[in-house]
Amino acid sequence: MLDVAIIGCGITGAAAAYELSKYELKIAVFERENDVAEGTTKANSAILHAGYDPKPGTLMAKTNVEGVRLAGEICRELDVPYKKTGALVVAFSDEDLPTLQKLYDRGLQNGVPGLELLSAEQTHGLEPGLSARVAGALYAPTAAVVNPWEYALAMAETAVRNGVGMLFSCGVTGINRIKGGFELITPMGRFQTKTVVNAAGLFADEVHEMACEKEFTITPNKGEYYILDKEEGSRVSRVIFQCPTEKGKGVLVSPTVHGVLIVGPDAQKTDSKDDLSSTAGGLAYVAEKALLSVPGLDFSKSIRNFSGLRSAPDTGDFIIAESKTAAGFINLAGIKSPGLSAAPAIAKMAAKLLKEAGLAFVPKKNFINKRSVVRIAGLSPKEINKLVKANPAYGRVVCRCETVTEGEILDALRGPIPPRTLDAVKRRCGAGLGRCQGGFCGPRVLDILSRELELPPEEVFLDRDGSYIVLGDNRPERRPGDA
Amino acid sequence: MHDLIVIGAGPAGLAAALAAREAGLEKILIVERDAEPGGILNQCIHNGFGIEYFKEELTGPEYAERFISDLSKTDIELMTDTMALRVTGNTVHALSAKGGYRVLPAKSVILAMGCRERARGSVALPGDRPSGILTAGTAQRYVNIEGLAVGKRVVVLGSGDIGLIMARRMTLEGAKVLACVELMPYSGGLNRNIVQCLNDYDIPLYLSHTVTGIRGKKRLTGVTVSRVDDCFHPVPGTEIDFFCDTLLLSVGLIPENELTRAAGIKMDPRTRGAVVYENNETSLPGVFACGNVLHVHDIADLVTVESQRAGRAAARYVLHGKTPDSSVVSVQYGEGLVYALPQKIRIKIADDVTTVYFRVNRIFCSGTVHVYGLCGEIASFKRTHMAPGEMQRIKLSRELLQKSGGEITVSAKEADA
Amino acid sequence: MKELTCTLCPRGCRLYVDENNGFAVTGNACPRGAEYGRTECENPVRTVTSTVRVLSKTHPRCPVKTDRPIPRAQVTDAVAALRNITLCPPVRLRQIVLENVCGTGANFIATRSL
């Protein structure tokens, strides 16, 4: 019997797995997709928010500030790309200034360090690319940008290194209450566990209702984004937010750890937890609004669009609590923004709740709290030569846009959570992230995966199970005209 | 130290290196990222190459083979499986499994890195993001080099030559190509390809249309195509749904100038390549550019001629020293043109006749190309048919350029205008 | 009367071919165009290019072409005839890969060496 079954391996599940793996507990993570971070975690603004936005006293506020405080050290120890850029919330007129003041006050209440209110002059001094209309800004120096999927992966990999089991393509389809805990029904069989940590993102309400009476509803909310080429990457050096109005939160323009610019999101009501389509209307709205902050943005330099679905809870705050009708069933639900920022703090709260539910927490003696990844692109010639001498594969460039070598892809394949798809390689190594979006490296990565995983090429998928890229060898029995 | 390092062993790099050798340059190295030379020609298995240069009709591999064979008879060094990571005025930084990270000094450098394809994100196609959406060139690589089929029911977006060629290729490999969709009111490809790739196989061409919807949770299951108005906005009510598993994108090529930009070389936003002088020299003395990295070509034969010029220029630079000062005629693109190249002509150094290459921004049925100096028109050329998909050339003599007053503007007008 | 566009040069003359009058061509700006119009209507031919399988890890496919144009109507069958061919390296440039394709008298030849 497991001590803890974590359902979902997005940022929340990964952080929970990492935190709990510090203790002598039998833990397994059940993820319905074929990789870590396949939900909202790979499709968001990639920002660790300073924490002036959530209402004081809420779980969002508490975990945001605490989570961002913990993130710096985690990213350092686990080699997660992280950059403390700072953020500006810009006002477009004097009417906006009282709102900035409100955010400033709220930030102080929430314990956010370093906040400052800047004049128009000071703001333009920091960011010359901003619109001339900008009348001032709230400056939050502790805001940071991170690689969100690598953040989740790093914590998940570390959890695996410390004994956590991970099951992919293993969605939970039913939960029975049994003596001493729960029984999870999955495509890979039935698993017994003393406790459950529900980190199922968009499906957290459905998972909760498999075992308990309804307590909350999760509504998806879609946000669309542009990724602009590295050539646009230095338009701004800080995360640029727009001052919220009654109309909404506005659209952000932000540098990223990859050097590209992320622009978005809008906020669309949607019924579907599965609809990640980009829309002409959504993208047009994002572009129009973003140009208000940074009028020089060149959208012809777009290299990619994507959409993310946020899990909006009907309670208005994070749900970090034991279920009212099932002891030992811990919900980490409604983790929309600032979920990425809050993750490590949410995980610590989950641990506390499990302790209170009766689990024994004995710290592991030899907890492995270090992870390091070879990234050729950032190394000096001397360091590269040392690596190539030991392993020539580090000299074979596969992704020319991002300078990713075969050696790095092989490293990932020998890692604790090896990639099985092109996008899984992209998330671990960066191959395919660049401006040609995998046009050059795609066939090469497919060939490496096919060879190393001993899969026929038609079974190497782009991302989700079933997203085949090729049909296989041209077969002699197929005739032209067969469709 | 090498006299010359050429980056890329495609048609441009091969021709440039051979021409430099022939002009007397000795220590020449070509750096090539692929396992063998030939560049994009290796996957262009179709006909149509060499008509102008060899007076024969060859396939891509055959065209490449001519130069590769010539190369093997020289002492030009070829480093394959080697990726150039950085270029300065006198070094090339390269990475390979065999040699590690090397900083290779050179007296001159020729940039011949070719171009890449625009992907889905650069045209912001709305819809789901399933597998089955490939650029035409990537599909060409899978089919022709790896021997892997990429789909059964295909829609092609873009009627440039690559899209047309792949429409035929996929059909011959047993796929059903349902449509070729083109945003503009005319096709960007050669007439010959419309006939032999679309008409021969009854593949409908939808002009003034674009893809407005993409469906599929895992693999593509269908696309929606709509007509567009004069401002390229989709017209509601004109939607056509296609059930397909493959969408091939042929939506434009972009010169691959990452190395060029990082070297601080001056760029032309119209060509998306380097600004060059009449001998293909860039703003960095001793660094030259030719082929698709300079401006996207339609015909390999013209790449060869341009690259030979660059090769000869590199040889002259190394053997006879830095180019002497000269007054510069700047070349501007005028009405009817997208760009004109070279952007600067040094009269004293130029050949007796300088070829100016340009592209028009619309179809001209019977046009005239006008060349204006600062004081008025100095030349005009009749051209029966000009299209954006066909690179144009005019030849300007030194005497003519001397009349320009320091600046010429090339423009195109319909004959009766 | 058949209408078609000549593909021999970028001018793209619109040709009119009278199949009831010995395939007489009008609309052409040059004699090559007349010949093209006649042949295209009377007996259209194409050079066919494709690839064949090769027993090689580094080069799984070899590009081939017909050494002369074949009737357009036989192109599909000609490509189908390549399906069962597997070459063993080394392959010589212009080596005959399939002789007398579909009885046309043309051969498929390799367009590169391997």
* Contact (CB, 8 A) for C114 and C59: yes
Measured distance CA(B71)–CA(B94) in Å, rounded: 21
Coil, strand or helix at A285: helix
Query: Is B318 in the same domain as B334?
Result: no
Active centre residues of A (catalytic)? 49
DSSP C96: E
Quick check: B365 contacting C, CB < 8 Å? no
Contacts of A477 in chain C (CB under 8 A): 83
Domains, in order of start, for chain C? 2-43 (no CATH), 49-110 (3.10.530.10)
Name residues whose C-beta falls within 8 Å of residue B96's C-beta, 6 or more positions apart in sequence. Answer: A395, A396, B79, B81, B82, B83, B102
Query: Is A55 in the same domain as A161?
Result: yes
Q: How many CA atoms lie within 13 A of A38 on its CB side?
A: 23
DSSP C9: S
What ipTM goes with this model?
Answer: 0.94
In three state form, how does the secondary structure of A182-208 look?
A: EEEEECCEEEEEEEEEECCHHHHHHHH
| Residue A103 Ramachandran class (φ > 0 left, ψ -120 to 50 alpha, else beta) | alpha
**Max Cα distance, chain C (Å):** 56
Measured distance CA(A12)–CA(A199) in Å, rounded: 6
Contact C79 A480 (CB under 8 A): yes
Q: State the total domains in chain B.
A: 3
Which of A265, A291, A309 terminates a domain? The answer is A309
Tens digits of pLDDT across chain B (417 residues): 999 999 999 999 999 999 999 999 999 999 999 999 999 999 999 999 999 999 999 999 999 999 999 999 999 999 999 999 999 989 999 999 999 999 999 999 999 999 999 999 989 899 999 999 999 999 999 999 999 999 999 999 999 999 999 999 999 999 999 999 999 999 988 888 999 999 999 999 999 999 999 999 999 999 999 999 999 999 999 999 999 999 999 999 999 999 999 999 999 999 999 999 999 999 999 999 999 999 999 999 999 999 999 999 999 999 998 778 888 999 999 999 999 999 999 998 888 999 999 999 999 988 999 999 999 999 999 988 898 988 999 999 999 999 999 999 999 999 865
Measured distance CA(A394)–CA(A385) in Å, rounded: 9
Tokens describing residue C21: 């009058």
Query: Is B314 in the same domain as B369?
Result: no
Query: Is B103 in the same domain as B130?
Result: no
Match 């939607």 to its residue by tokens. B239
Measured distance CA(B59)–CA(C64) in Å, rounded: 9
Contacts of B190 in chain C (CB under 8 A): 7, 10
Q: Is A343 within a domain?
A: yes
Query: Is B214 in the same domain as B110?
Result: no
Match 């701004």 to its residue by tokens. A236
Coil, strand or helix at A3: strand
Which of A309, A330, A348 terminates a domain? The answer is A309
Rounded to the nearest angstrom, the minimum Cα separation between A290 and chain B is 16
Strand partners, A191: A184
Instruction: State which residue of chain A sits closest to C77, comparing Cα positions.
Output: A480
Q: What is the residue range of B191's domain?
A: 119-251
State phi, psi for B18 to the nearest 5 degrees.
-65, -40
Strand partners, A183: A176, A192
* Contact (CB, 8 A) for A2 and A164: no
Q: Is A466 within a domain?
A: no
Coil, strand or helix at A260: coil
Coil, strand or helix at A340: helix
Q: Is A464 within a domain?
A: no
Contact A283 B121 (CB under 8 A): no
The bridge status of strand A181-186 relative to strand A189-198 is antiparallel
Summarised one tens digit per residue, pLDDT across range C16-62 is: 999 888 888 998 888 888 899 999 998 999 999 999 999 998 999 99
Tokens describing residue B397: 């003599």
Query: Is B137 in the same domain as B239?
Result: yes
Distance of CA B221 to the CA centre of its chain: 33
Q: State the total domains in chain A.
A: 3
Query: Is A251 in the same domain as A362?
Result: no
Q: Is A151 within a domain?
A: yes
Query: Is A151 in the same domain as A70?
Result: yes
The bridge status of strand B344-346 relative to strand B328-333 is antiparallel
Measured distance CA(A367)–CA(A363) in Å, rounded: 8
The bridge status of strand A397-399 relative to strand A218-228 is unpaired
Tokens describing residue B34: 């692929």
Measured distance CA(B203)–CA(B194) in Å, rounded: 10
Query: Is A70 in the same domain as A158?
Result: yes
Query: Is B162 in the same domain as B247?
Result: yes
Which of B223, B251, B279 terminates a domain? The answer is B251
Query: Is A323 in the same domain as A448?
Result: no
* Contact (CB, 8 A) for A242 and A224: no
Amino acid at B272: R
Q: What is the pLDDT of residue A475?
A: 43
Which of B251, B266, B291 terminates a domain? The answer is B251
Query: Is A228 in the same domain as A245?
Result: yes
Measured distance CA(A307)–CA(A303) in Å, rounded: 14
Quick check: A247 contacting B, CB < 8 Å? no
Which of B217, B251, B285 terminates a domain? The answer is B251
Chains interfacing with C (3 or more CB pairs < 8 Å): A, B
b/e A220-229 (16+ beta carbons within 10 angstroms → b): bbbbbbbbbb
* Contact (CB, 8 A) for A235 and A253: yes
| Residue A411 Ramachandran class (φ > 0 left, ψ -120 to 50 alpha, else beta) | alpha
Query: Is A125 in the same domain as A239?
Result: yes
Quick check: B267 contacting A, CB < 8 Å? no
Q: What's B161's domain CATH number? A: 3.50.50.60
> Which B residues 64-93 touch A at CB under 8 Å?
81, 83, 85, 93
Contact C111 B62 (CB under 8 A): yes
Angle at A219 between CA A216 and CA A222, to 5 degrees: 155
Measured distance CA(A13)–CA(A37) in Å, rounded: 9
Cis geometry, peptide bond prior to residue B11 (ω within 30 degrees of 0) = no
Quick check: A389 contacting B, CB < 8 Å? yes
Q: What is the pLDDT of residue B417?
A: 54
Measured distance CA(A53)–CA(A32) in Å, rounded: 32
Rounded to the nearest angstrom, the minimum Cα separation between A370 and chain B is 28
Instruction: State which residue of chain B sits closest to C11, comparing Cα positions.
Output: B385
Coil, strand or helix at A269: strand
Q: Is A468 within a domain?
A: no
Coil, strand or helix at A320: strand
Query: Is A199 in the same domain as A234?
Result: no
Quick check: C76 contacting A, CB < 8 Å? yes
Q: Which helix (H) or strand (E) holds A449?
A: helix A441-452
Coil, strand or helix at A474: coil
Q: What is the pLDDT of residue B314?
A: 97
Q: How many residues does chain B have?
A: 417
Which of A323, A352, A372 terminates a domain? The answer is A372
Amino acid at A244: P
Rounded to the nearest angstrom, the minimum Cα separation between C50 and chain B is 7
Q: Is A400 within a domain?
A: yes
Tens digits of pLDDT across chain A (483 residues): 999 999 999 999 999 999 999 999 999 999 999 999 999 999 999 999 999 999 999 999 999 999 999 999 999 999 999 999 999 999 999 999 999 999 999 999 999 999 999 999 999 999 999 999 999 999 999 999 999 999 999 999 999 999 999 999 999 999 999 999 999 999 999 999 999 999 999 999 999 999 999 999 999 999 999 999 999 999 999 999 999 988 778 899 999 999 999 999 999 989 899 999 999 999 999 999 999 999 999 999 999 999 999 999 999 999 999 999 999 999 999 999 999 999 999 999 999 999 999 999 999 999 999 999 999 999 999 999 999 999 999 999 999 999 999 999 999 999 999 999 999 999 999 999 999 999 999 999 999 999 999 999 999 999 999 999 999 765 433 334 443
Q: What's B357's domain CATH number? A: 2.60.40
Tokens describing residue B412: 């195109």
Query: Is B112 in the same domain as B258?
Result: yes
In three state form, how does the secondary structure of chain B look?
A: CEEEEEECCCHHHHHHHHHHHHCCCCCEEEECCCCCCCHHHHHCCCEEECCCCCCCCEEHHHHHHHHHHHHHCCCCEEECCEEEEEECCCEEEEEECCCEEEEEEEEEEEECCCEEECCHHHHCCCECCCECEEEHHHHHHHHHHHCEECCCEEEEECCCHHHHHHHHHHHHCCCEEEEEECCCCCCCCCHHHHHHHHHHHCCCEECCEEEEEEECCCECCEEEEEEECCCCCECCCCCEEEECCEEEECCCEEECCHHHHHCCCCEECCCCEECCCCCCECCCCCEEECHHHCCCCCCHHHHHHHHHHHHHHHHHHHHHCCCCCCCEEEEEECCCEEEEECCEEECCCCCCEEEEEEEECCCECCEEEEEEECCEEEEEEEECCECCCCCEEEEEEHHHHHCCCCEEEEEEEECCC
Strand partners, B176: B153
Instruction: State which residue of chain C sits closest to A473, comparing Cα positions.
Output: C53
Rg (CA), chain C: 18
Amino acid at A262: I
* Contact (CB, 8 A) for B26 and B2: no
Q: Which helix (H) or strand (E) holds A28?
A: strand A27-30
Contacts of A385 in chain B (CB under 8 A): 100-101
Q: What is the residue range of A283's domain?
A: 87-141+221-309
Q: What's the pLDDT band for C1 if we cut at 50, 70, 90?
A: confident
Measured distance CA(B334)–CA(A354) in Å, rounded: 73
Cβ atoms < 10 Å from Cβ of B302: 18
Tokens describing residue B310: 């660059």
* Contact (CB, 8 A) for B278 and B343: no
N-to-C CA span, chain A: 51
Query: Is A337 in the same domain as A296?
Result: no
Query: Is A63 in the same domain as A187?
Result: yes
Query: Is B153 in the same domain as B240?
Result: yes
Angle at A43 between CA A397 and CA B248, to 5 degrees: 60
Query: Is A93 in the same domain as A68?
Result: no
Query: Is B149 in the same domain as B166?
Result: yes
Tokens describing residue A401: 């846009």
Query: Is A229 in the same domain as A367?
Result: no
Measured distance CA(B103)–CA(B90) in Å, rounded: 10
* Contact (CB, 8 A) for B71 and B79: no
